Amino acid sequence: MPIIKILPHPEYCPQGASIEAAPGSSICEALLEHDIEVEHACEMSCACTTCHVVVREGFASLNEMDENEEDLLDRAWGLEPNSRLSCQAILAQQDLVVEIPRYSINHAKENH
| 65-91 pLDDT, tens digit each | 999 999 999 999 889 999 999 999 999
Q: Is the pLDDT of residue 13 over 70?
A: yes
Q: Is the pLDDT of residue 109 over 60?
A: no
**In this structure, what is the dihedral angle of CA atoms 21, 24, 28, 31, given to the nearest 10 degrees?**
-10
How would CATH label the architecture of 45-103? Roll (3.10)
In order of 15, 23, 84, the CA distances from 2 in angstroms are 20, 7, 18
Domain boundaries, the chain: 45-103
pTM reported for the whole predicted model:
0.91
